[in-house]
Amino acid sequence: MTTTNEPIDFEFGLRQLNGNEALLHRLLRKFADEYRDIGTRLPALLSAQDIAGAEILVHTLKGVSGNLGCNAVFEASRSINQQLKASDVNNNDIADLLQQVNQTIALIDALPSGDDATNSTSEEKPESKIALQALTVALNNHEFISNDKLNSWLDAMPASPMQRQQITNAIDELDYDAAKALLSELA
């Protein structure tokens, strides 16, 4: 596991799989399918006071996310796993874990499918779609976006200098709706 601030460390995931991008994407999609309903499964286990079941679910999530480079999910699940072992679960941390899982799944859903990668005639790179999705998720959640993070996302997108400036200005003015509208023009 690496310490990058990205929700998914694709370089780490590729190193884990000897550079096999198609396999990484397939495993990430399988991860998304497996944990898409964790927002209902984990609370149900906790409501039923099935701490052992919750611990198994979170421990497995931690391991899989760590192996695939899903950093935010790994860190949040590691914390919940420790809390479950101590029988002292913080509901805010559970909410954070579920948010991290949902954000990571949104990024995975933006990955090109195997068919898209082979049949696409577009010049747009997968990094562009991922950056666009990550920025949109951050805006939807009203997250603080550092200039470095914003620039790295914008660098990956096919935005003109004028579009970049308009998006940056909208974000600086906290006009996230305007920023999302500008981003939709790039999609």
Q: CA-to-CA distance for 14 and 74, rounded, in angstroms?
A: 17
Instruction: Tell me whether residue 69 is exposed, middle or buried, using C-beta atoms within 10 angstroms of its C-beta: 0 to 12, 13 to 18, 19 or more.
Output: buried
Where residue 4 falls among pLDDT bands split at 50, 70, 90? low
**Domain map of the chain by residue range?**
10-109, 116-184
The tens digit of pLDDT for each residue in 41-93 reads 999 999 999 999 999 999 999 999 999 999 999 999 999 999 999 999 999 99
CATH fit for domain 10-109, picks 1.20.950, 2.60.40, 1.20.120, 1.10.1750 = 1.20.120
Q: pTM for the complete prediction?
A: 0.62
Where residue 94 falls among pLDDT bands split at 50, 70, 90? very high
The tens digit of pLDDT for each residue in 96-118 reads 999 999 999 999 998 877 654 44
